[in-house]
């Protein structure tokens, strides 16, 4: 079986690796460089604290790969488990926290609810009086997406996968008699039994080539690296003010990463034409909001650098992982969770192509038809 993967980010590479491990002939077509799209601008979060079962299950299934990545792929991804600390200002959010933790622990996640004073044990400078509840999971953490791409790329080379960079897919057509897809690229047309759309922020465009309309919009997200007034220990958790959409975590050399989703650009930005530098107004607001959470930040906080990248966002902040047309599988729209869920997604995609259904994780909630059927459940824990 020949499978063409459209997209050379971490999701596409994981899909290619899982397929090659099971003996499929795989070609990866990437219009730019491997990891040069959203993966290269990801913050690298790997967490188990999600608000819906399918996202928790994808994380639980992915973590063993991240834990053993250096052993399996020969690359150190700098996987640091410093935890995630979610904070609630509103009573309704606190009630959601209780339900989320109950669901997470039922799936084997070591998450817990905390009082604001208990949260101070993990975030000593926390303005605890501003919050009503928190959740914490010590198994959450961060890793380096660039290193993960390198590891997957080396493994694909060893497996004989045909990886083609600077090779955009310009057309998709399927012959009914042979049930073969014809994948048009500038150099040649490739026959394929399956095509996997792992194009991230470009997934809607690729879907249209195959006659599939996908509710996936590219949204610009920003992050800034700052020198806080008071340093954060490297063991400090990634801290999220969920009601105000802001977060921060320690970086190297006594810096901190600050971000948030409170000042979105046009949700339908052109993924080929957007500013990759953070806006000054947004950066100032990000630091101000971080200062409202904890005493690490204030007027003397200095901005060192930053970046802007793209999320591929669906209306319910869940991915689409589904065979949406015969022989055309979508693995996109992760809404900022693609890096951390890539290992489990790759295996599920391999099962869809080779077995006809995914059994590694129950991904029925990620079907495209959920938007028509009204069977969506919005992921609240967005960061």
The answer, yes or no, to whether residue 68 has pLDDT greater than 90, is: yes
pLDDT digits (tens, 9 = 90+) for 272-322: 999 999 999 999 999 999 999 999 999 999 999 999 999 999 999 999 999
pLDDT band at 168 (very low <50, low <70, confident <90, very high): very high
Structure tokens at 25: 């002939």
The answer, yes or no, to whether residue 266 has pLDDT greater than 60, is: no
pLDDT band at 376 (very low <50, low <70, confident <90, very high): low
Query: Which CATH number is associated with domain 80-141+217-309?
Result: 3.30.9.10
End-to-end CA distance of the chain: 38
Helix (H) or strand (E) holding 46: strand 45-46
Distance CA 37, CA 7 (A): 9
Closest CA to 236 of 223, 249, 247: 249
What are the domain boundaries of the chain? 2-66+144-216+315-373, 80-141+217-309
Distance CA 341, CA 186 (A): 31
Q: What does DSSP assign to residue 141?
A: E
Sheet holding 162-164, edge to edge: 162-164, 25-29, 2-6, 194-197, 328-332, 320-325
Contact (CB, 8 A) for 339 and 148: yes
pLDDT digits (tens, 9 = 90+) for 50-65: 999 999 999 999 999 9
Residue 23: phi and psi, rounded to 5, are 95, 5
Q: Yes or no: is domain 2-66+144-216+315-373 CATH 3.50.50.60?
A: yes
Distance CA 135, CA 266 (A): 31
Better-scored residue on pLDDT, 373 or 66:
66
Closest CA to 17 of 320, 348, 317: 348
Contact (CB, 8 A) for 123 and 294: yes
Provide mean pLDDT across the span 159-178. Answer: 92
Distance CA 345, CA 314 (A): 17
Three-class DSSP category at 123: coil
Distance CA 288, CA 345 (A): 36
CB under 8 Å to 260, separation ≥6 — which residues? 244, 245, 246, 247, 285, 286, 289
Task: Among 67-76, 80-89, 170-179, 292-301, name the one with the lowest average pLDDT.
Answer: 170-179
Distance CA 321, CA 338 (A): 11
CB under 8 Å to 70, separation ≥6 — which residues? 76, 77
pLDDT band at 175 (very low <50, low <70, confident <90, very high): confident
The answer, yes or no, to whether residue 97 has pLDDT greater than 70, is: yes
Provide mean pLDDT across the span 342-356. Answer: 98
Better-scored residue on pLDDT, 136 or 381:
136
The answer, yes or no, to whether residue 43 has pLDDT greater than 70, is: yes
Three-class DSSP category at 155: helix
The answer, yes or no, to whether residue 324 has pLDDT greater than 50, is: yes
Three-class DSSP category at 63: helix
The answer, yes or no, to whether residue 11 has pLDDT greater than 80, is: yes
Closest CA to 250 of 230, 279, 280: 230
pLDDT digits (tens, 9 = 90+) for 99-147: 999 999 999 999 999 999 999 999 999 999 999 999 999 999 999 999 9
Distance CA 146, CA 96 (A): 34
CA distances from 254 to 90, 216, 294 (A): 31, 37, 16
pLDDT given for residue 264 in this prediction: 52
Q: Are strands 180-184 and 171-175 parallel, antiparallel or unpaired?
A: antiparallel
Distance CA 52, CA 296 (A): 32
pLDDT given for residue 377 in this prediction: 67
Tally of residues, the chain:
383
Q: What angle do the packed helices 10-21 and 338-355 form, to 10 degrees?
A: 40
Three-class DSSP category at 232: coil
CB under 8 Å to 39, separation ≥6 — which residues? 9, 10, 11, 145, 148, 149, 200, 338, 339
The answer, yes or no, to whether residue 382 has pLDDT greater than 90, is: no
């Amino acid at each position: 079986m020949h499978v063409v993967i459209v997209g050379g980010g971490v999701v596409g590479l994981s899909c290619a690796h899982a397929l090659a491990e099971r003996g499929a002939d795989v070609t990866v077509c990437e219009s730019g460089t491997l990891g040069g799209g959203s993966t290269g601008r990801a913050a690298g979060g790997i967490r188990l604290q999600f608000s819906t079962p399918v996202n928790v299950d994808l994380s639980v299934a992915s973590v063993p790969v991240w834990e053993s990545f250096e052993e399996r792929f020969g690359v150190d991804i700098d996987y640091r488990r410093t935890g995630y600390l979610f904070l609630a200002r509103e009573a309704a959010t606190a009630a959601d926290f209780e339900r989320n933790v109950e669901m997470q622990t039922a799936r084997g996640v070591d998450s817990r609810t905390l009082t604001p004073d208990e949260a101070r044990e993990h975030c000593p400078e926390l303005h605890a009086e501003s919050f009503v509840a928190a959740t914490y999971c010590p198994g959450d953490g961060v890793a380096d997406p660039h290193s993960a791409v390198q590891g997957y790329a080396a493994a694909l080379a060893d497996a004989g996968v045909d990886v083609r960079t600077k090779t955009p897919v310009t057309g998709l057509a399927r012959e009914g008699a042979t049930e073969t897809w014809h994948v048009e690229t500038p150099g040649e047309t490739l026959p394929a039994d399956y095509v996997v759309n792992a194009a991230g922020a470009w997934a809607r465009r690729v879907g249209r080539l195959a006659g599939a309309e996908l509710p996936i919009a590219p949204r610009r997200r920003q992050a800034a690296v700052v020198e806080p007034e008071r340093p954060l220990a490297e063991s400090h958790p990634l801290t999220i003010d969920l009601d105000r959409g802001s977060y921060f975590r320690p970086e190297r050399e006594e810096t901190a990463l600050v971000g948030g989703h409170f000042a979105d650009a046009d949700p339908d930005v052109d993924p080929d034409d957007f500013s990759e530098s953070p806006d000054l107004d947004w950066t100032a607001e990000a630091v101000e909001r971080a200062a409202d959470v904890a005493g690490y930040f204030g007027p003397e906080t200095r901005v060192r650098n930053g970046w802007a990248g793209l999320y591929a966002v669906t209306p319910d902040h869940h991915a689409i992982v589904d065979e949406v047309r015969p022989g055309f599988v979508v693995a996109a729209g992760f809404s900022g969770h693609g890096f951390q869920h890539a290992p489990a997604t790759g295996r599920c995609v391999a099962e869809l192509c080779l077995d006809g259904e995914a059994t590694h994780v129950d991904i029925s909630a990620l079907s495209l038809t959920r938007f028509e059927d009204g069977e969506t459940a919005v992921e609240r824990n967005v960061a």
